Amino acid sequence: MNPRPEQDDTVEVVIDRVDKVYPGGVTALRGVSLRIGRGMFGLLGPNGAGKTTLMRLVAALERPTRGEVTVNGIPVTRRPSWVRGLLGYLPQDFRAYDKLTPREFLDYVALLKGLDDPRRRRREIELLLEQVGLGRSIRSRIGTFSGGMRQRLGIAQALLGGPPLLIVDEPTAGLDPEERIRFRNLLAELGLTRTIILSTHVVADVEHSCSELALLIGGRVAFRGTPDALISRAVGKVWEVEVDPGEADRVRATHRVVSSRAASGGGLALRVVGRDAPPGGARPVRPTLEDAYMVLVGEAVGFGK
């Protein structure tokens, strides 16, 4: 049996008015609608915003309470195995069997993905292990791996079989800056021919690799569009201001602090977002994606601390 569907790199995911309410009444998603096509799509949001729930719905690991998720027009709940056949999935808390070697683990995953040809499996596994920088650890047990090595193994298993739809949840967690950039570039390259949904807290990952993004706050879509469009929403709401250390709390009460550093005059140089300029000679600055993210979160839950 080969559970893989016909190879088609064009995958469109449509999330249509989806609600997800867990037993006990916790609402994770409310009326979420998104259309995700080829390329890299970033999913940003604070903890508990519903990003992981949304990923799990697309991966057919959960069912929506209301609404529908379709892949190429086919409801995920109706043909979950077919959808999983298109899918490479890296869960947020990726773990592997400690007693196996990376080659054994990837071979097991490849078999579960329906890659029945042993020669193809072997070739692909060796290539992927080289690609993620685990070529030298091929005979070590996974139990001896560092956090970064495990994460790279997780990325390798998601890429096995060249899936046309990749769902990666916090993929760069635990990677050092060089690895993070390398992986980001790899994803951007893969995004030319397939659909990739990238969920992350790291705004820079989305800024450098995604052509479109959605911002989830409290289970709702607070923004959907290009990074530039998100940045333009923050124009006139980002300031830099120098304050005495004792006055910083006063600014924090009405504004969200994006960054703070020691200023040359002995005070604190704060970069803040808010509806109005903070008092004390603040000057407006050009927003970045991180500023824009903070502005939207602030607008949803309040700017003060």
Partner 1 sequence: MRTFLALLAHEARLLFTWALPLATAGSTLILILVIETGSPEILPLLKTDPGLALSMADRLVLRVVELAAPIVGVLAVSHATSLDVDAGTAELVGSMPRWTPGVILRRAAAGFLMLTLSLVFIVLAARLVTGLEFSLDRPFLALPPSVFLAGLGLVVSAWTRSHAAGLAAALGLWVMDLIRPGMCTGPLYLFQAGRPPCCQTAGLDLCPNRLLLCAGAAFLVALSSWLYSRRGLSR
- Residue 214: count other Cβ atoms within 10 Å of its Cβ: 25
Q: How is residue 214 written in tokens? A: 């959605």
Name the minimum Å distance from CB 191 to partner 1.
20
Name the minimum Å distance from CB 297 to partner 1.
27
Q: How is residue 189 written in tokens? A: 């390259």
Q: From CA 302, how far away is CA 255, in angstroms rounded? A: 9
Query: Considering only residues 88-127, where is the footprint of partner 1 by CB under 8 A?
Result: 89, 91, 93-100, 104, 107-109, 111-114, 116, 118
Helix spans in the chain (H) = 51-58, 80-85, 102-112, 118-131, 147-159, 177-190, 203-209, 227-232, 248-254, 289-301
Total residues binding partner 1 (CB under 8 A): 34
The residue (of 158 and 215) whose beta carbon lies closer to partner 1 is 158
Alpha carbon of residue 285 to chain centroid: 27
Q: Out of 82, 141, 247, 248, which residue is the one contacting partner 1 (CB under 8 A)?
A: 82
Alpha carbon of residue 164 to chain centroid: 17
The residue (of 95 and 261) whose beta carbon lies closer to partner 1 is 95
Name the minimum Å distance from CB 75 to partner 1.
15
Helix spans in 202-247 (H) = 203-209, 227-232
Query: Considering only residues 50-79, where is the footprint of partner 1 by CB under 8 A?
Result: 56, 59-63
Q: Out of 3, 147, 284, 302, which residue is the one contacting partner 1 (CB under 8 A)?
A: 3
Q: How is residue 60 written in tokens? A: 């057919």
The residue (of 1 and 228) whose beta carbon lies closer to partner 1 is 1
The residue (of 72 and 260) whose beta carbon lies closer to partner 1 is 72
Name the minimum Å distance from CB 1 to partner 1.
8
Query: Considering only residues 121-180, where is the footprint of partner 1 by CB under 8 A?
Result: 157
Name the minimum Å distance from CB 17 to partner 1.
22
223 neighbors 246 (Cβ within 8 angstroms)? no
The residue (of 52 and 70) whose beta carbon lies closer to partner 1 is 52
For residue 281, CA distances in Å to 44, 139, 147, 241, 294 come to 32, 61, 45, 7, 21
Residues that bind partner 1 (CB under 8 A): 3-4, 56, 59-63, 81-82, 84-85, 87, 89, 91, 93-100, 104, 107-109, 111-114, 116, 118, 157
